[in-house]
Amino acid sequence: MSQKTIRLTMAQAVARFLTMQKTMIDGETVPIFGGVFAIFGHGNVAGVGEALYGIKDTLPTYRAQNEQGMAHAAIAFAKASFRRRFMACTTSIGPGALNMVTAAALAHVNRLPVLLLPGDVFANRLPDPVLQQMEDFGDGTATVNDCFKPVSRYFDRITRPEQIIPALRRAMQVLTDPAECGPVTLSLCQDVQAEAYDYPESFFAEKVWGTRRIMPDADEFAVAATALLHAKKPVIIAGGGVLYSEASSALRNFAERYGVPVLETQAGKSSLPHDHPLNMGSVGVTGTSASNDLAEQADVVLAIGTRLQDFTTGSWALFKNDDLKIIGLNVQPFDAQKHRALPLVADARAGLEALNSALTGWQADTSWTDTATAGKEDWMVAADRATGTTNAELPSDAQVIGAVQRARETATLVCAAGGLPGELHKLWKAGRPGSYHMEYGFSTMGYEIAGGLGVKLARPDDDVVVMVGDGSYMMLNSEIASSIMLGAKLTIVVLDNAGYGCINRLQMATGGANFNNLLKDTHHVTLPGIDFAAHAASMGAISRKVGSIAELETALQETEGTDRTTVIVIDTDPLITTDEGGHWWDVAVPEVSDRPQVNAAREAYVTALKGQRVG
């Protein structure tokens, strides 16, 4: 029996395939791709561009201003959708493609799905070298898109039109797999994009992708449950996997039933409401005193959906109990077994629900739970003091955070890099799952505004507030224009401390001289007087600069109902940070220096290293 086929170009086949991929959310079948971000060039405009035009009424194509920015927005869309939906991005060859590599690494580190479709050189090689082609003198197959290989979960180069059939199927498997989830790069040779093939109609059948919930292995589960049954001072570290598994209710039920305090990573913050008595807040280098005091004493750590990176573990010096056991509840075995953890490879919600049933009769010591709740109360006093209003000429980041929180209490907060993530991790009061959106796995400067756009596209009814430093704003601000074009209103608060204040403080803490971070400490002829408000207005934003915390609160209240992206700028102090909470972080200090400040910092560093856990 002959198979029914349809003749399409390879690019048309890609576009049609994407429209037929669906998922189920709240009982409704919806497209799994939220759209395609595209910047066209000679390497994709004729093939992919024409194909996307043909489906524009089914799958929207969004024009961006910067390839890295649009990929950030796509990744933020997936994160805000708890990885249930995602987007695709297409570029031309050469610099356009390479501009997405940083974003691919961000997605890889954070385990977030995005489909990258960069154009590539001619598969037939007849016009080589084409415009923007890099030539390798010793490898005729090499192109710049090989740079995507180490930062993609799956990479494929399409040199024949029929190769897209297995490639797209494999791509969808990776994008929807909770354990393997991450960026997929399909490098599309520009001549092959335009070549036709008789594709089987079955390739374009509607496919509904569900959520795989991996159940615990019986033996691993028995070991983990036994460890918890013997715990006297247990804590939970809630990572991003709690949110992606939609396990917040299961986490709450478990914590309340057994009296176990919950500590939150950057990705896991908002797993519990900030005001829940068992939510101790942030943990690790940017942790609260409540969380870190408990982590130091804990005998069992139930680490759920977290990579346990150095900011979470205080560079593996935070946990000081010699009898510590870590239970790694994670869908990815690589993460579940870090630092000799007892692996419990399972979906976060499924694992929590199974433990909740198996531990009947066990309870954390009442004194331990009481210690936790008392520590939380003490921390909240310190946090409210740090975020209180002020008349200072240059307020701290914490005081700006307090103003934003008071004015936009229910906002979804977006941030990424610099000093703000540490302050927000400690101080932002997240009320519902997903209302705190921080990219700190890769800590990518420039993610903030583009990320805010992606969050708004995923959650159009949310009041999305982006907090960004002047350094990150300067690196990547162009998606302000995209947000206005798309009617995706953001409120952007720019904290201008005249340089890279966060790294300047780290430089000072490691004994370094103030050098090349704050603008005043750089090699310059004239210091720039950058008017961020005027710059944002030039792209169509409503903007203003405010001179105090009181003015900031008023501006946030007055602009809440505006119809387009608003940018509010405030000058801040580059040196002030919240003293309470926090933990040591391993940043190597030079062993030899002719500066006494560096030698003193080295001595303190060597002492601190003795507290690290090895193995």
List, for residues 478-511, the tens digit of each pLDDT value. Answer: 999 999 999 999 999 999 999 999 999 999 999 9
Quick one: pLDDT at residue 383? 97
Give the residue from 352, 378, 404 where a domain finishes. Answer: 378
- In 3D space, the residue among 228, 280, 273, 224 whose CA is nearest the CA of residue 252 turns out to be 273
Quick one: pLDDT at residue 394? 97
Give 614's pLDDT tier (boundaries 50, 70, 90).
confident
For residues 244 and 184, state if they share a domain. no
- In 3D space, the residue among 479, 451, 478, 482 whose CA is nearest the CA of residue 467 turns out to be 451
For residues 399 and 486, state if they share a domain. yes
| Mean pLDDT of the residues in the chain | 97
Residue 411 lies in a domain: yes
Residue 351 has pLDDT above 80, yes or no: yes
For residues 466 and 516, state if they share a domain. yes
For residues 273 and 142, state if they share a domain. no
| Crossing angle of the two packed helices 348-358 and 218-229, in degrees rounded to 10 | 60
Cis peptide before 129 (omega within 30 of 0): yes
For residues 277 and 146, state if they share a domain. no
For residues 204 and 302, state if they share a domain. no
Residue 579 lies in a domain: no
Task: Please count the structural domains in the chain.
Answer: 3
Residue 91 lies in a domain: yes
Quick one: pLDDT at residue 9? 98
Q: For residue 567, give its domain range.
A: 388-571
3-class DSSP string for 548-577: CHHHHHHHHHHCCCCCCCEEEEEECCCCCC
Quick one: pLDDT at residue 464? 98
Q: What is the pLDDT of residues 559-613, one digit of tens each?
A: 999 999 999 999 999 999 998 999 999 999 999 999 999 999 999 999 999 999 9
Distances (CA, A) of 251 to 212, 267, 362, 364: 19, 15, 16, 15
Where residue 362 sits, what CATH number does that domain have?
A: 3.40.50.1220
- Distance between CA atoms of residues 402 and 328, nearest Å: 35
Give the residue from 378, 413, 440 where a domain finishes. Answer: 378
For residues 325 and 404, state if they share a domain. no
367's CB contacts (< 8 A; 6+ apart) are none
For residues 9 and 126, state if they share a domain. yes
Other CB atoms within a 10 A radius of the CB of residue 579 amount to: 8
Residue 260 lies in a domain: yes
Give the residue from 139, 174, 209 where a domain finishes. Answer: 209
Quick one: pLDDT at residue 1? 59
Where residue 112 sits, what CATH number does that domain have?
A: 3.40.50.970
For residues 439 and 525, state if they share a domain. yes
The tokens for 73 are 């927005």
Q: Are strands 28-31 and 21-25 parallel, antiparallel or unpaired?
A: antiparallel
Which segments of 198-302 does DSSP mark as H helices, in order? 218-229, 240-244, 248-258, 289-297
For residue 84, the Cα-to-chain-centroid distance in whole angstroms is: 15
For residues 154 and 229, state if they share a domain. no
Q: What is the pLDDT of residues 361-383, one digit of tens each?
A: 999 999 999 999 999 999 999 99
Residue 591 lies in a domain: no
Question: Is the distance from CB of 449 to CB of 310 less than 8 angstroms?
Answer: no
- Distance between CA atoms of residues 487 and 431, nearest Å: 26
Q: What is the pLDDT of residues 95-154, one digit of tens each?
A: 999 999 999 999 999 999 999 999 999 999 999 999 999 999 999 999 999 999 999 999
DSSP 383: H
Query: Among 1-10, 168-177, 203-212, which is the least confidently predicted range?
Result: 1-10
For residues 165 and 139, state if they share a domain. yes
For residues 321 and 369, state if they share a domain. yes
% of the chain residues with pLDDT over 90: 98
Residue 453 lies in a domain: yes
Residue 333 has pLDDT above 80, yes or no: yes
Residue 11 has pLDDT above 70, yes or no: yes
Quick one: pLDDT at residue 342? 98
Average pLDDT over residues 207-214: 95
Phi, psi of 39 (to 5 degrees): -125, 115
360's CB contacts (< 8 A; 6+ apart) are none
3 vs 61 pLDDT, higher one: 61
Residue 463 lies in a domain: yes
The tokens for 425 are 């991790």
Average pLDDT over residues 307-331: 97
Burial degree of 523 (CB within 10 A; 0-12, 13-18, 19+): exposed
The tokens for 31 are 């497209």
Residue 312 lies in a domain: yes
